[in-house]
């Protein structure tokens, strides 16, 4: 059933678990999330990235919204990492429940102005906004400690930003990275604790793929209510098709679509159990 992202995250915050937000590309991904969520009795969030939306357009939004609405458990649809106000307006008009208005590449005041404008717009449409303060890297390679710390979320800036922009949840940068971690992940939990002391709204952690269970749980204990997941689900999808391409199988394509959906579902269900959302729908 289609549900407000804010409602999902506030329930998670109240009961100390987190919800998986899965970046998807097609119908198989949507079915995998719905099937996993129903099997695990877990809430879930379907996410779409701007470049995927450029490719799939309004038909893909419709698929994701219908998938979430047809589920037997609460789900929402979220636009991830978007700095394009026109695209944000379009998806809000389509009925998407929340957006990440991402001005994190901008100077603080410009980020604030952009995010405030998008938040005011979203709220008029009954939708909610995630913001990002700090800059999440795509890789750890070639960065000094000072450079990495400079990208991290400053607790006092986060407090000011949330108060001024009126956003509903905040993505924090504490050493997490998009994609693959090169070496053992190192998260600044002292920084996260200070951010939590400054803010009451749900916190979000991107780059959950590859984080060990103890780091996931510690993040939840310190207020993270949403984890973004992409790499591991995408990897399973691509692995299936690579293996299929090396065979001379004459199986019907629909059978393959069902199998790849099942393969992704396994990864997604594992994340739901890891995040503590299984059984919470």
Q: Which residues form the catalytic set? A: 80
d(CA 144, CA 264): 36
d(CA 130, CA 115): 9
Residue carrying the six token digits 């957006």: 99
Report the candidate in 108, 49, 52, 55 with the shortest Cα–Cα distance to residue 83: 49
Q: Cβ atoms within 10 A of the Cβ of 28, count?
A: 20
Residue carrying the six token digits 């004459």: 250
**CB-based burial label for 133 (10 Å; 0-12, 13-18, 19+):** buried
Q: What angle do CA 187, 193, 196 make, to 5 degrees?
A: 120
Q: What angle do CA 234, 205, 185 make, to 5 degrees?
A: 75
d(CA 248, CA 178): 36
Which residues have a Cβ under 8 Å from the Cβ of 133 and sit 6 or more positions away? 104, 108, 111, 153, 154, 157, 158, 161, 170, 171, 172, 173
Q: Which helix (H) or strand (E) holds 88?
A: helix 85-94
User: In a 3-state reduction of DSSP, which class is residue 221?
Assistant: helix
d(CA 16, CA 209): 20
Report the candidate in 99, 96, 61 with the shortest Cα–Cα distance to residue 79: 99
First-to-last alpha carbon distance for the chain, in angstroms, is: 11
């Amino acid at each position: 059933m289609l549900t407000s992202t804010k409602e999902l995250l506030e329930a998670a915050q109240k009961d100390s678990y987190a919800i998986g937000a899965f970046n998807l590309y097609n119908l198989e991904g949507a079915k995998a999330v719905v099937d996993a969520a129903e099997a695990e009795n877990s809430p879930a969030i379907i996410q779409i990235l701007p470049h995927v939306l450029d490719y799939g357009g309004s038909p893909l939004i419709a698929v994701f919204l219908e998938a979430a609405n047809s589920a037997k458990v609460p789900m929402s649809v979220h636009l991830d990492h978007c700095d394009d106000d026109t695209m944000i307006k379009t998806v809000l008009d389509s009925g998407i429940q929340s957006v990440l208005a991402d001005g994190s590449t901008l100077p603080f005041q410009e980020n604030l102005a952009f995010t405030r404008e998008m938040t005011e717009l979203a709220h008029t449409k009954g939708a909610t906004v995630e913001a990002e303060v700090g800059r999440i890297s795509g890789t750890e390679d070639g960065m000094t400690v000072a450079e990495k710390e400079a990208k991290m979320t400053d607790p006092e800036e986060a407090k000011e930003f949330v108060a001024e922009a009126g956003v509903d949840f905040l993505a924090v940068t504490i050493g997490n990275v998009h994609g693959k971690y090169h070496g053992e992940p190192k998260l600044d939990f002292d920084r996260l604790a200070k951010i939590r002391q400054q803010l009451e709204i749900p916190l979000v952690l991107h780059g959950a793929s590859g984080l060990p269970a103890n780091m996931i749980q510690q993040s939840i204990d310190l207020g993270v209510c949403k984890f973004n997941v992409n790499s591991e689900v995408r990897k399973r999808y691509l692995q299936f098709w690579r293996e299929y391409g090396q065979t001379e199988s004459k199986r019907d394509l629909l059978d393959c679509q069902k199998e790849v959906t099942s393969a992704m579902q396994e990864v997604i269900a594992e994340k739901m159990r890891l995040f503590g959302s299984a059984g919470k729908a």
